[in-house]
A and B are shown apart, each in its own frame.
Chain A
């Protein structure tokens, strides 16, 4: 079983739509949670950290459910520029600071 699982998509949505991505993780000892954005043939870049209380950054809202080991990302009022792959990333400190990556969910926002 993969440590982090995501729906690969693609999600094809019109501009202005609201879209939600989900992610599950297998290790209950996981400590930190993130959403990264990766454009085609580029490196991943941090979109936002995910906190237990939920957090919002403009059009983006992230939520964490530790009991269900589930993370979500909601994008409101989608823009063409939101088209990218969104990676769910989970961090656990064992003997070192280890990161586990989902395979990514691809989003295509259409005009």
Chain B
């Protein structure tokens, strides 16, 4: 079955550490997105990539970085510059019909 795989599902980080969240898709989609979800808030866009080797900042990119070296892969690095990184991170990719497919999410907790 085609889909989006995120790992790890749960991650604990000490303050000052960088962590990288993996996102892999086998949907053959061009576009991939990273969102952050906090309790009681809608999903907020961190970074997006419309095509391999290209990515753009979303609404809350500060403290995050991404790469898009392969069509299938769009990893997100949460850097030590991100002041409040504890959140639920969702990788997503839209289909041609507009449906947004999500990975299962990665829950990051800063200790």
Task: Give me the interface of A with B, judged by CB distance under 8 Å.
Answer: 2, 4, 8, 32, 34, 36, 41-46, 49, 87, 89, 91, 96-104
Q: Are the CB atoms of B99 and A49 closer together than 8 Å?
A: yes
CB-defined contacts of B107 to chain A, threshold 8 Å: 41
A49: which of B33, B41, B50, B98 is its contact (CB, 8 Å)?
Answer: B98
Q: Are the CB atoms of B42 and A43 closer together than 8 Å?
A: no
Most buried by B among A42, A43, A96: A43
What band does the interface of chain B fall in when counting residues whose beta carbon is under 8 Å from A? 20 to 34
Q: Are the CB atoms of A45 and B102 closer together than 8 Å?
A: yes
Q: Are the CB atoms of A32 and B50 closer together than 8 Å?
A: no
Bound CA span A102–B107, Å:
20
Known contacts A96-B56, A97-B31, A44 near B102 by CB under 8 Å: yes
* Residue in B closest to A33 when the chains form the complex, CB atoms: B98
